[in-house]
Amino acid sequence: MRAVRIWALHGFKKFLKRIDFWALIVAAAYFTFAGLTSKRYEELIPIIVALLGLLAVSQFRNRGDVVDEVKTWNRERTDLFSFKFPQRYLDAQSNVSHSYFYTGATMRRTITNMHEHLTRILEHRGSVQILLPNPSNERLLGIIAETHPTKDAQGIKADIENALRLAQELEPGKGAVKIRTIDFVPHIGINAMDVDLPDALIMVQMYEFKGKSERAPIFLLDRDDKEWFKHFKEQIDRLWNSGTDYPPTM
C-alpha cells in the first residue's frame, strides 16, 4: 500500500512539472469555444493576453529543459564513471525507505555507514537483503584475497563475519532482514535502493585487480537508464537466487 502511495505521489509531481502544458490546453480549448460562441470579441482580449503570457512562460521552461538535454548529449562517454562514491548515492542513503540490497566482497564499511538507514527501512516495513561470500569457504577467501588491494584471507574472513553479525543484530521490527552467502567470487559490488519505486537507484562498483585506492569504476543507474537499469536489476535477482540462507539451517 505504501508503494502505491509513493507511485501516486510521483505521478502527481510529474503532473505539476507540466502544469503549464495542461493549462495551455485548457486555455486554448476555452478560447476556441468562446471565439465560436461569443459575439463580443473585446471580452476575449484579456484571455488572449493571458494565453500568450502562459505560452511565453512555457517556452522559457522548455528552453531550459532543452539546454539540460544538450548538456547530457555533449558529455564525455566516460563521464558516467567515477573513482569515488557519487554524492547522489550518498544522498540516496538518507532517503531510502522501502528496500535495500547489497552484495560485495566484505561489506566492512557499508554495514556501519548504513546502520541508521537500514533501521529506518525496517521501521517502515521494508526489506533488507545482504549477500556476502561464505566466510567458512577457505578456498574462496583465499581467491578473494588474491585480488583485494589490502586484505589477506584472514582479514577478509574477519570483515565478512563482522558484517554478518551486525546484520543479524538489526531489529527487523515490522520489516524483514534476509541474509545469504555465496560460494563464488563477487566480481562487482552492488548497492540497490528502493528498486521497485520511482526513485530507484543502483550503484555498481567494479572490482579492479588490487587497485591503489577505491576500487573503480563506480557508476549509478536509475529508471531513466531503462535497459541497463533492467539488466542490473535482473542481475540482482540472479545473484540473490544463487545464495544460501545464513545462518544455514541444520
From first to last of its 250 residues, the chain has per-residue pLDDT tens of 555 555 455 455 554 456 566 666 666 666 666 666 655 556 656 666 666 666 666 666 655 555 555 555 555 667 789 999 999 999 999 999 999 999 999 999 999 999 999 999 999 999 999 999 999 999 999 999 998 888 999 999 999 999 999 999 998 888 999 999 999 999 999 999 999 999 999 999 999 888 778 889 999 999 999 999 999 999 999 999 999 999 987 5
SS3 237: helix
User: Which of 41-62 are b and which e, b meaning 16 or more Cβ less than 10 Å from the residue's Cβ?
Assistant: eeeeeeeeeebeebeeebeeee
- Which residue has 471565439 as its cell numbers? 35
Residue-level pLDDT at 224: 92
Cis peptide before 217 (omega within 30 of 0): yes
Encoded amino acid at 69, one letter:
E
Which residue pairs from 23-30 have beta carbons closer than 8 angstroms and sit at least 24 positions apart in sequence? 23/54, 24/51, 24/54, 24/55, 24/58, 27/51, 27/54
pLDDT of residue 10: 47
SS3 of 33-93: the string is: HHHHHCCCHHHHHHHHHHHHHHHHHHHHHHHHHHHHHHHHHCCCCCCCCECCCCHHHHHHH
Q: Domains of the chain (ranges plus CATH)?
A: 2-73 (no CATH), 87-245 (3.30.870.10)
pTM: 0.74
Give the per-residue pLDDT at 144. Answer: 94
